[in-house]
A and B are shown apart, each in its own frame.
Chain A
């Protein structure tokens, strides 16, 4: 079973709560916020492996390429360009689709693996399970590819927690898609509600089972007010509390430090785990 923690808005508390959920249920952890991975500061895994993730990209044979430029015209990602009679690849734009190789009349293009990022793995004493962190090469456009490659490796027979990326684009979708249960974290502010609504829309369209957690609430009243006319209410509200803030910024896991967080998460998530 896979639980994905997402929010739309950054900084709502995805990583904080994903780390806590993994601790409460001793779950395997996947940090899929690949261009700003932070879970390791909470889980403190003892990293024991680093595996490169690659994607095939084209290389051009100098002998065979006659510089006709067909590939540069066909590439829909504008990843190929030609100067004089030489074709060059702008690698960050390449999606590895293989079209250039197919259209080349000279068969001058072959593919070779190029690094997209790494997956570091290690055991966490705090969650009593493995932690996998995706590190995208800084500035890369291939985050969704790295996420998908990591998702393929998840053992669905075990309980795993995914810490997803912020936003509502295809990278978020890639982290939502494999999940059996979505934890939607909302910061109860106009920003947070705005971004969460969009994420909720994606989750609903995909027909996923989900729970909402309102995090950093200024008051219960404001949260209740917001959810007043909504069919789906917040399953748990966590207040904006200086103690939580301080523990969090120092890399403590909230559920380990505060029994009310432990109990709260256990109460709302346990019934979902045993559902047929």
Chain B
């Protein structure tokens, strides 16, 4: 049975990706997933060889057949997303706010609107020395639907099953919206990376509330710690309140961003290797 671990934080920049990459580097065998599909950074830290590229199509979008269109404007009033406008010559224009609902196509009396496929990005399967990496690049500005995350996660599950790999580790997106949900559903454990700051606490609390809804256990890793005992204490109390076990603490240390600058992870730093090893033990239960 594959065990799935998702690494999240609520807040952006809390250290999800550097922690995830560090953990992955210390594993014997793993399928790694970068679920932050519109700011995909995990591959930057992991050496990999690309095996395959697959186009991803998001929602279809509306396209006007100007030969058919009479410019009646029925679509203008039907669109709830202000995505349709009409220029001075009466030409109907559809902009990037189109959410692909197809209401305009339905109301058009002359069937001049077609729903057409739109490429949303690409997703990739790659090999690493210790397993596989599945990641994606969303085209900038595209709808960041959970659909792509769900797609790459199911691919990861299939590979893990086929190759008999025991762990899937997911680098999650920031925030607590649908993308976060797509990275939480069906996982066995969430590791919340919490930055020592007031913002970090606030976003952790929102995340913990979300995790609770799914009844998934979670652990807490304190990051960028050491400046304020008071803030740290508040994080520990919050973790307690939401039933998150604090399993590690990484200090604020200029050597860490310096190492990342050189594409080194914490697993490559002598002073942090043991902390990451301990976290790995805790999350894998070994």
Chain A interface residues toward B at CB < 8 A:
8-12, 15, 35-38, 41, 74, 76-77, 92, 95-99, 102-103, 136, 138-141, 143, 165-173, 187, 189-191, 194-195, 198-199, 201-202, 205, 216, 218, 222, 240, 242, 245-246, 248-251
Contacts and interface: CB of A to CB of B under 8 A. Distances in A.
- Using C-beta atoms within 8 Å of the partner chain, give the interface range for chain B: 35 or more
B44 A168 contact: no
A91 to B, nearest CB: 12
B122 interface: no
Most A CB within 10 A of own CB, among B10, B40, B101: B101
Interface string B245-263: 0000000101001101101
A249 B39 contact: no
Nearest to A195: B39
Contacts of B260: 189-191
B150 to A, nearest CB: 12
A103 B100 CA distance: 16
A185 to B, nearest CB: 11
Most A CB within 10 A of own CB, among B107, B196, B257: B257
Nearest to B204: A36
B175 A139 contact: no
Given A9-B12, A36-B10, A140-B178, A166 B39 contact: yes
A246 B197 CA distance: 9
Contacts of A15: 199
Contacts of B12: 9-12, 36, 166
Interface in B15-54: 17, 36, 38-41, 44
A139 B257 contact: no
A175 to B, nearest CB: 12
B178 A169 contact: no
A77 B257 CA distance: 41
Interface in B177-217: 177-178, 180-181, 195-200, 202-203, 206, 209-210, 213
Most B CB within 10 A of own CB, among A35, A37, A76, A202: A35
B141 A166 contact: no
